[in-house]
Structure 1
Amino acid sequence: MEARKRLLIVAHVPSPNTRKLLEAVERGARNPDIEAVDVKVMAPLDAGPEDVLACDAIILGTTENLGYMSGALKDFFDRSYYPCLEKTQGLPFAFYIRAGHDGTGTHRAIESITTGLRWRLACDPVLCRGEYQNAFEEQCEELGMYVAASLDAGLF
């Protein structure tokens, strides 16, 4: 029997709408057709390097705060960067941003940190820009399903 893969979802959810996005990502990742992936969902302030070291892929979720990622996700990176730097190179990751504006600063910040970590982007990020739309939830569910199904299929 093949070992189960571990997907870590670390997301900042300060509002009902961002909670819906996280729930959509998790729903996609827990799709019943995905058989050999364990999903762990954590808030950024609760997650740390030991969680990253124990996973096979990670999905990050954040709001756009003053043109940057949330302080909670930045704190997660601050605590995890050096302990993970040499040990998680090539880690598949994906992310989504709930952006009231354009999300470019947040995207650039996540890209910069994950490039330094040498993590591997698994798919295009989901940028939920502007006024809230239900379509954001569909996009986030697809993101979760894609990453978990890719893990399940042994693609990473």
Structure 2
Amino acid sequence: MTQLAAKQLLIVAHAPSPNLQRMLDAIVRGAQHEDIEHVEVRVVKPLEAGADEVLAADAIILMTPENLAYMSGALKDFFDRTYYPVLEEKQGLACALVVRAGHDGTGTLRALKTILTGLRWQQVQEPLLCKGAWDETFIEQCEELGMGMAAGLDAGIF
């Protein structure tokens, strides 16, 4: 019997607060669900992630807080450093977005969608916008998003 090569799910997440860390932990927990067999999950902070991580990925989850109606500076730095090195090779990369917004998050989502359009990455799930006052349901939503991404990779959907 041939062993299937594991697909690589990259999570690039800026989680500077305890609640954002809880959201990230939930994404990872979902992505590593016991029923998902052929997916390796790699979590990298935006300031440490580079083109090599993206080039090795079969799918990517991007998580950021809303900062001044925009993505975090750390995630913007990630895009500044990796955009051109991955542009040609990673067109069509399956991706999902998670934004923790204290207000409405529309500026953050608009900026991210503009970058993803330029990269030609394919959003395979609706962006998860966790906005307003903290809500414990954000944790469940993050876990579901992580599980959905990993299950899609595991099933060969993307």
* TM-score between the two structures when normalised by the length of structure 1: 0.99
Classify the secondary structure of the residue corresponding to 2:97. Answer: strand
Q: Which residue of 2 aligns with 1:45?
A: 47
Which aligned runs of 4 or more in structure 1 are off by greater than 2 angstroms?
none
Q: Distance in 1 between matches of 2:50 and 2:97?
A: 17
Once the two structures are superposed, the pairs formed by residues 59-98 of structure 1 within 5 Å of their partners are: 59-98=61-100
Classify the secondary structure of the residue corresponding to 1:98. Answer: strand
Within the alignment, does 1:107 sit opposite 2:109 as a pair? Answer: yes
Q: Which residue of 2 aligns with 1:4?
A: 6
Classify the secondary structure of the residue corresponding to 1:132. Answer: coil
For residue 2 of structure 1, report the CA deviation from its aligned partner: 1.7
Within the alignment, does 1:20 sit opposite 2:25 as a pair? Answer: no
Q: Distance in 2 between matches of 1:14 and 1:57?
A: 23
- Percent same amino acid among aligned pairs? 62
Q: Distance in 2 between matches of 1:4 and 1:11?
A: 22
Q: What does the per-residue CA deviation read over 1:87-133, in whole Å, with 9 as the maximum and x for residues that have no partner?
A: 10000000100000000000001000010000000100100000001
The amino acid that maps onto 2:65 is: T
Classify the secondary structure of the residue corresponding to 2:126. Answer: coil
Classify the secondary structure of the residue corresponding to 1:45. Answer: coil
Q: Distance in 2 between matches of 1:122 and 1:6?
A: 16
Taking only aligned residues, the RMSD between alpha carbons, in angstroms, comes to 0.4
Once the two structures are superposed, the pairs formed by residues 111-150 of structure 1 within 5 Å of their partners are: 111-150=113-152
Q: Distance in 2 between matches of 1:96 and 1:109?
A: 13
The unaligned stretches of length 5 or more in structure 1 are none
For residue 9 of structure 1, report the CA deviation from its aligned partner: 0.3
Q: Distance in 2 between matches of 1:109 and 1:21?
A: 21
Number of equivalenced pairs: 156
The amino acid that maps onto 2:30 is: G
The amino acid that maps onto 1:145 is: M
The amino acid that maps onto 1:116 is: G
Q: Distance in 2 between matches of 1:109 and 1:84?
A: 18
For residue 3 of structure 1, report the CA deviation from its aligned partner: 1.2
Classify the secondary structure of the residue corresponding to 2:8. Answer: strand
